[in-house]
Structure formats: C-alpha cells, structure tokens
Structure 1
Amino acid sequence: MIDLTPYRALIFDMDGTLVESGPLHEIAWRETLERYGLPILPALMRSLAGVPTRQTLEIVARESGVSLPAPVDEMNAFKEARVSELAPRYVKATALGNLALEQNGLRPMAVGTGADTDEARRILDHCGLLSLFDVVVGADQVQHPKPAPDTFLACARALDHPPHECVVFEDADLGIEAAQAAGMAVIDVRSRFQFVNEYFLADEAVG
C-alpha cells in the first residue's frame, strides 16, 4: 500500500508504468530498424527505454557508426503508425490503472511520457485510462525530453502544483533521473509493484 498523503498531485509515466506495452514497442522497433537497415542492438534498446523515438534513432545510428538512412521524421512517423496499428493487440493497463481510477477526482493527475502526445493519447484511450488524467505531456511538447526534467516540470505546471508536491511513478532509469532532476518524489514501480519492462529481452523477435 502506498501512502500518498504527502503528495498533492500524481504524475505517471506511460509505457511500462500505466500501460504494459513492451511487446508492442519491440515489434514496432524491430520493423522500423529492419525497414531502414539499422542494426538491432537489444542491450542498447533496453538502455534507451523512455527516450523518444527520434532521439533513439539518432543514438542507434551514432552507436552503430552509420548515418541515418532517411529523415528522422519519416522514420518516426513509420514507427508511430506501426504502434497505432498494433496497439489493440498488444497493450493493456497495468495495476497502476486501478490506482489512477481510485485517485480520480481526489488529486490532479498527469501523464508524462517519452511518446509523442497523439500516440500516448491513443494508447491511453485504448486502455480506458485517458479520461482519468487532467493532462498528457508527450515528448513533442518539450524542448528537452527525458532524462531532462522538462516533461515532468510541464506536468506540474499544468496541474498547478510545485514540484515538491508531486510524486512520479516510473519504470525506467532515465525517467527516474528526470523526476529527481525535477525535484519530485519518485516511486520505482519495478520494485514497488514488481513490474518487468519486457523490452528487447532476447535477440528473437516477439511474435
């Protein structure tokens, strides 16, 4: 049981926190990387969980010693389209969806995610969660996405609460770093809820 008494506002990461989406993103990423001829590096992809698609593509190319084979916006659009098409088969709410439902109307709540806003809203809506949140802040709304604090600070501003009154629920090291940099309390859902972000755990594609 989590004591939320000290906090006036709640901020949730999406993928791996509110939404079980590891298989969805692995399939979409594998298809994207294969389509554009970039190598699939499972360990690197796991380390980039929570990083927006555009930045991930740039990092993969840099770490592989190659140039991006197409405009990054084109590659991002392809991956987003695959996520939208595959989401009905592969995403579902986690136990934190129940916590958000319990807190609905009691505390203002936001989602701060490394996904683009439109994609995040579609996934949350598919999982029946979108209406619970006052605001959704995606990577496209901030100049510096996670691990910078901008995403969570934007959530706090939208909820009209200072950072020290907010608590962030996160499942990724870079997201936890972002919450701490924002001056917010953070709950690592991997340890508190035994969540596992099943993302590029093996070299074989998820089917």
Structure 2
Amino acid sequence: MAFPIVDRPGTEADPSVSARHAVIFDLDGVVVDSFAVMSEAFAIAYAEVVGDGPAPFEEYRRHLGRYFPDIMRIMDLPLAMEEPFVRESYRLADQVTVFDGVVELLLTLRTRGLRLAIATGKSGPRARSLLDKLGLLPFFAHVIGSDEVARPKPAPDMVLKALDLLDVPAERAIMVGDAPTDLASARDAGVASAAALWAPPDDIGELLAAGPDVVLQRPADLLAICPALSLR
C-alpha cells in the first residue's frame, strides 16, 4: 500500500488530502521525547514491585499509546507497578525534551488559526503537568488523558471527545501519532491519521501497516495539509 509522504513543508495544501481545521496530537513520541525517562521509571517500578531481572521495556514500548494499567494487563504484570512508575515519571519530568521543530510547528498552526488538542495514553493530570513544565500547555485548547474517557486507545473515545470539545467535524481534523493504537483510534473516529516518524517507531513496518493517511518525516511536514484558515 502506498501512503502520501509529505516531504516538503509549505503553505499550500496537499491536493490529495483535504485541509484541516484541527490537529489532535499524541504526546509521547510525537510532541515530546520521553523514552529515556519512561525506560528509567519502568525499570525502577519493575524492580520495586516484581524484583530482580531485566525490566521488559522494549515490550512495554510496543504497547505505547495505551493506558498504563491496560499495558500491565496485556503484559501480565502487576498493576501495583503504576504507583512507582507515575512517581518516578513526575520525578524525572525535567529530563523530558521537546522534539526539534515541534514548537515551531505549534506556533505556525496556532498562527494559521487551527485548533489543537492532545489525546494521550498518559493520565490527564500527568500530561497537563508535563506540558505545563515544558511551556507547551497554552498551545492546546484541550488535553485528554486515558483516565478521562470510558475507553482509552485504541478505542475512538479520546478522539471523539476531542472533536466534541474542539467543535470540529471529523472530516476536518487529523490525528498525529507514532503508534498503531493512535491510528486505530483516529480511524474508528472517522478522522484522518498521520504517522509521525521523527522518533523512529519500535516497528515502522507495523506502524505503516496500520494504514496512516499521511506519513510525516518531520514536524514541519504537517504544514502542507494545514494551510491558514483565512486562505481557504
């Protein structure tokens, strides 16, 4: 299957994809690079709750996008790992970085009049705390965590809630994610999806097989399908 690959940022809309009024972003792996922090927090939580031995972080990473308790159930690990994992994630939050080009992308999208939201596997309070610490919270009209919907990703509930809060029809929004769970959530909500490749996924083949509508090599590539509202 061939996917439109946007490889040159610009102000004109890609004619193969209709222009958008809103962008819904996943957080980890799309807006922020938190993998090192997650790995350390996961290792500490595993040691505290499970005991000695290597923490299976690579397997955990394959399930990113899902809510932490759901991942524990899938991996058959104790739900008690959530408390130390969250504790350490807060403690290490100052080590999380923003991907190159993301701030510029958010500034341009806001200037062009698009509405922005976050739909993340994190809990809402933890996502908002991290975004606030990084100075990014004002960019987003809404930040929706996995604990704030009945069914987190890969169900469509988070994306549907974002559409409702943003007051944007599904056909005028796009979801940017780096995991198959993100793309599934977007698809089942009737929203176009973009696969973000600036943080190389654990399995690019699996991500592409999930059927993104657009593949983005870097953050600025999204601008090609997000022209200014006033230019439409």
Output the TM-score relative to the length of structure 1.
Answer: 0.82
Between the aligned residues of both structures, percent identity stands at: 27
Structure 2 contact 43–57 (Cα < 8 Å) conserved: no
1:7 is displaced (CA, Å) by 0.6
Q: Which of these residues, 75, 84, 102, is aligned with residue 81 of structure 2?
A: 75
Could you list the per-position Cα deviations for residues 63-114 of structure 1 after superposition, in whole angstroms to 9, with x for gaps in the alignment?
xxxxx3xxx3x5323211111100102x111222321121125111100001
Counterpart residue number, 1:126: 133
> Which consecutive residues of structure 1, in runs of 5 or more, have no partner in the other structure?
63-67, 200-207
Counterpart residue number, 1:26: 39
CA distance in 2, matches of 1:170, 1:97: 16
Structure 1 residue ranges, 4+ long, deviating more than 4 angstroms after superposition: none
Counterpart residue number, 1:196: 200
Counterpart residue number, 1:160: 167
Computed over aligned residues only, the root mean square deviation of the Cα atoms, in angstroms, reads 2.1
Alignment pair present for 1:6 and 2:27:
no
1:8 is displaced (CA, Å) by 0.9
CA distance in 1, matches of 2:142, 2:173: 14
- The one-letter code sitting in structure 1 at the alignment partner of 2:108 is E
CA distance in 1, matches of 2:202, 2:94: 18
Aligned partner of residue 29 in structure 1, secondary structure: helix
CA radius of gyration, larger in: 2
Counterpart residue number, 1:40: 55
> Which consecutive residues of structure 2, in runs of 5 or more, have no partner in the other structure?
1-8, 204-232
Structure 1 contact 109–132 (Cα < 8 Å) conserved: yes
CA distance in 2, matches of 1:33, 1:58: 14
CA distance in 2, matches of 1:155, 1:183: 12
